[in-house]
Structure 1
């Protein structure tokens, strides 16, 4: 069973569809997008796979606990967690940045990852199996004007996941990150002009933006048996990682 947070659209929806196609039963988590989440569930059901939408704010402990309890009752536990839900952040320069903006993003980013991981790991340990997959961004390593809050928060998430991976490896539980460059059709990209988006695309090796399906297929690999010895890694997408 796979739980994908923030799965009503974009990367999350693409991941839900991909994992359902791979044979997973899927929980489509959302915070306030019930119609879109139910549409994803309907698409999955039409293909013959099983899915359910569950409303929960991943930064609220009681919501997370209730969601996990419902999953346990329905399907006996979570085998794959895809931590995809994006918490809000300010696009601003350091000169205009307030501590409330930076500290708020750090808190919400790590709180969501911490709560979800704490909730599913005991069951994974008891079953001796688990896949933890977290959405990061290349901005945690490659700075870009205006993205200091997101880049800093995701850098903290990256290190959190490395420690989780180290501790849980003896239990056959893997923890990895997927770190795409700019992904088309997300809430983040909606804040940029068309000209800026063309610049982002031109800066990638393939001269196009990352697509949600690209990310979903990488997540599906990390969720599968072939990635059983892959843990503590960050898989970049769309960045120039080699220098000639």
Structure 2
């Protein structure tokens, strides 16, 4: 990853933060996009720089076209290019049984998830086309293929994201650009703190590898797709769930 520039949305915490640490350790200049937690993002930048890496934190709501343009243009101005994009920012969603959910609650997640991927991809891809090189990773979820109640809004939106990523892979296949999807199972992050310890233990028992994922487990797979080790893979959706899908 030496000399590569990677933009990571949702880069201040969880999977995004671990991905940033790993890519920076491997030589990449990482640009951490965050929405609200400035302190966490700046703390991570300081940590990476203390270890000899290079990092930059930029605030932007990736559902907003103007803010995305600022994010991408600032990255280009300060880093010269964008080699990789990790579309990882988490969008809030309503957790309800289907019959208790309104269309507005359901569609909010669909709109946020897909607009973020659409807006960000449209802003980044022209620069990748110019350089005839790019690595894009969309972070989805295992719930897109294996439904669990009450995650219908989340799972459906991520299924749309997975399909979107495959279309991007197909359309830009001849330009040195790859697009792949990483679909984690349950991951131990701040966003899963609401899950009970009993539920986590049960999930670990069901998982062939005997535990639920840590953010670094997902980060290693993302790092593979962002690197040239994956140069002959595109349009792939890989489950990172300790074998739960089998």
TM-score, with structure 1 as normaliser: 0.97
Tell me the distance in 2 between the aligned counterparts of 1:191 and 1:101. Answer: 20
Segments of 5+ residues of structure 2 without an aligned counterpart are none
Q: What is the aligned partner in structure 1 of residue 130 from structure 2? A: 126
Q: What is the aligned partner in structure 1 of residue 167 from structure 2? A: 163
Aligned pairs, how many? 241
Mapping of residues 52-131 of structure 1, within 5 Å: 52-131=56-135
Cα displacement (A) at 1:240: 2.7
Q: Does 1:222 align with 2:240?
A: no
RMSD: 0.9
Deviations 1:45-78 (A, max 9, x none): 0111110100001111111000111011111121
Q: What is the aligned partner in structure 1 of residue 141 from structure 2? A: 137
Cα displacement (A) at 1:194: 1.6
Q: What is the aligned partner in structure 2 of residue 12 from structure 1? A: 16
Q: What is the aligned partner in structure 1 of residue 198 from structure 2? A: 195
SS at structure 2 position matched to 1:27: strand
Tell me the distance in 1 between the aligned counterparts of 2:79 and 2:244. Answer: 41
Deviations 1:136-172 (A, max 9, x none): 0000000111110100000011111111000011001
Tell me the distance in 2 between the aligned counterparts of 1:65 and 1:191. Answer: 34
SS at structure 2 position matched to 1:68: helix
Q: What is the aligned partner in structure 1 of residue 154 from structure 2? A: 150
Deviations 1:28-54 (A, max 9, x none): 110011110011101110111110100
Q: Does 1:186 align with 2:190?
A: yes
Tell me the distance in 2 between the aligned counterparts of 1:229 and 1:98. Answer: 43
Alignment match of 1:37 (pick from 35, 41, 53): 41
Tell me the distance in 1 between the aligned counterparts of 2:87 and 2:228. Answer: 19
Cα displacement (A) at 1:191: 2.0
